[in-house]
Amino acid sequence: MTKKYLVGLVGESIEHSLTPDLHMQEARHLGLEYEYRIIDLLDPNLSEMSFEEVLAEATRSGYSALNVTHPFKQVALGSLKSSSTEVQEVGATNLVLQPGGQIHGENTDWSGFLFAIGQSIPNAKRDIVVQVGSGGAGGATAYALLKWGVKRLVVTDVDLSKAQSLAFRYQVLFPSARIEAVEISEALSILAVSDGVVNATPIGMYGHPGMPFEISSLNPVAWVADVVYRPIETELISQARLAGHVVVAGGLMAIGQAADSLRLITGLEPNIYRMRDHFMELLEDESALTRSKGI
């Protein structure tokens, strides 16, 4: 008998998420009966519910797991009965397993980014890396970079206190690395000698156009990574590629995150390359629709 899975994505302004389609398509290839629902707490019918109430309702409805996104990745920690080491160290969860039992938290954001850089730049230099942004995505990417072996990580943010908090927390966890938080102006000066740079801000996504920094400020041989994947190719990635930099597009992180979540939910091994192809088809379709509307 085919095992049935009911999974949800809990967050705000997520009605256009590609995650459900990505999960369900691969689950079908794996021979699973798999339903993935959007639980958007900005929906008028759900807006009065707290995360704890959503979790209780998921328990009553027989959900197998919940993916968690902004702004609940830290809120969800209070509902967990156990969690992975990575959840404890990153300080956020994006996957809640067994909502009807011993509620367990995992974090596949960091491993998704580790997959992205491992696929794109496995042998790249990593002595000095600059990361712009230290919010939710930034916590995961910084953790992945340090796991990857970055020796000196320079973090900056418009809110310097957030960057300082991240640097302090991770310096304790990674004592052999040098982790520092600096003002944006100082970080930009370090770009000229860095081996790589990561954009962990929303700059470049639909509704937030622009560049987090100028390509001309980079070390000519630096690699450039972005967490934004809508549009498929951000202005940052496009300009960096044109200037001859090796790039890590944001879509790869999303694919790695989804594959790791699917593996933890089902115990089966997803085909990451098949998921990548399907994800790119979804993004191409979305880009074509956006262009047709003149957005």
Residues annotated catalytic, as ranges: 73
DSSP assignments along 106-175, one per residue: E--HHHHHHHHHHHH-TT---SEEEEE--SHHHHHHHHHHHHHT-SEEEEE-SSHHHHHHHHHHHHHH-T
Contact 229, 206 (CB under 8 A): no
- Name residue 195's amino acid: D
Backbone angles phi, psi at 91, to 5 degrees: 80, 30
Looking up tokens 């933890």 gives 264
Helix (H) or strand (E) holding 256, with range, is helix 251-266
Give dist(CA 207, CA 263) in Å, integer: 32
Locate 219 and state its tokens. Answer: 């070390």
